[in-house]
Copies of this chain bind each other. A is one copy, B any other.
Amino acid sequence: MLNNEEWKELINTGIILSSYTEMDLILDRVVDDSIRIIGCEGATIYIKKGNHLEFMISKNIIIDKKIGGFENNVKKFTVPISNESIAGYVALNNEPLIISDVYDIPSNKPYKFLKVFDEMYQYRTKSMLTLPMNDNDNNVIGVLQLINLKDKNNNIIEFDERSMFVARYLSSIAGSVLKTTIYNSLLRNSYLEAIERLAIASEFRDLETSAHVKRISEYSAVFGELLGFDRERIINLKYASQMHDIGKIGIPDRILQKPGPLTVDERKIMEKHTIIGYKIFEGATSDVMKLSAIIALTHHEKWDGTGYPNGLKGKDIPIEGRVVAIADVFDALVSKRVYKPAFDISKVISIMKEEKGKHFDPELLNLFFKNINRVVSIYDKYRE
């Protein structure tokens, strides 16, 4: 059926495929490997979304030679999972389908071949193998469609046992890996969503407006980018910075909502929001929550050591705390508050420059002002 070299290639493809964790990479690899190992002209993958198949990727070596960049030219579309289309039929019945010539499908079959594609690219689709991609419970998660199998003399022939075997292998491994990948990304969303709900919960005490929290988060993400943080660390900062004032949940209304200035004792209680915020996340194991604890605790520390709660100084203050300190003060100054009008940018900059090396890390403040245009566009985007 296959020779030793071909078996080895198949095995290695399986190893590589099973190691991928990003959907695009997996799909790309399955399409390429199907064409190469099976020896056909084209391959297409659809992924199931509800009761439709969503077109994901298509490659065709003949059309690509003709027009170049074929792959990027195909527009996204969906196909209903029903008997009318070939891919829909295969997904509905969860069985592979071999067609020797798509222009010669018997009229008693429910599905039809659509010639649009052939006409558009002056191409002749002939033989076709369409098979479901299944997860471990044999649920359909997508469809793999192969076009025009060729023999040694370059003649187009019907898909055979060998191609079916290889296609099944590739689509099975890909199906399993895709299922995990999809599950993973749902889980990751749920996780980040759960954290966001904490921010939402705190808004119900009128602690912060959601726009303020959102802006702090976006300014911080820009900082992360400018500081060369990797993608994961930027995302962590983006979410964790939203938690900076979460500890205010534990501050009594009489202090939180007092219209006039606070007494010394009241101020001391108010300052506890940093420690309460820290305690809310203390002992958490996930990165975002660990960082949330750090930011909650340190976003009122000052570069010169006169901040609270621990009077940390300079680089003893974690960089994320120094970042949020700048973002938080900037946003308060530039916004209207009960106790102050909105200041214009030039006034905000001059006020904050006064605090360079006192309240704020001087290098970070320079970086912030150097990119003030990006900062202002975030402010404009998320105005109250």
Contact = CB atoms under 8 A, between A and B. Distances in A.
Interface of A is mostly: helix
Contact of A280 (B1, B14, B188, B204): B204
16 contacts: A11-B169, A15-B176, A18-B172, A19-B136, A180-B184, A187-B188, A190-B285, A191-B191, A193-B289, A200-B279, A200-B280, A201-B249, A201-B280, A202-B249, A204-B247, A253-B253
A195 B201 CA distance: 12
A330 to B, nearest CB: 26
A288 B2 CA distance: 49
Interface string A159-175: 00000010001001101
Nearest to A273: B204
A226 interface: no
How big is chain A's contact interface, by range? 35 or more
A281 B280 CA distance: 19
Given A11-B165, A15-B173, A21-B136, 4 more contacts: A8-B165, A11-B169, A15-B169, A193-B289
Contacts of A19: 135-136, 172, 175-176
Nearest to A174: B18
Contact of A184 (B184, B204, B252): B184
A367 interface: no
A250 B18 CA distance: 48
Contacts of A371: none
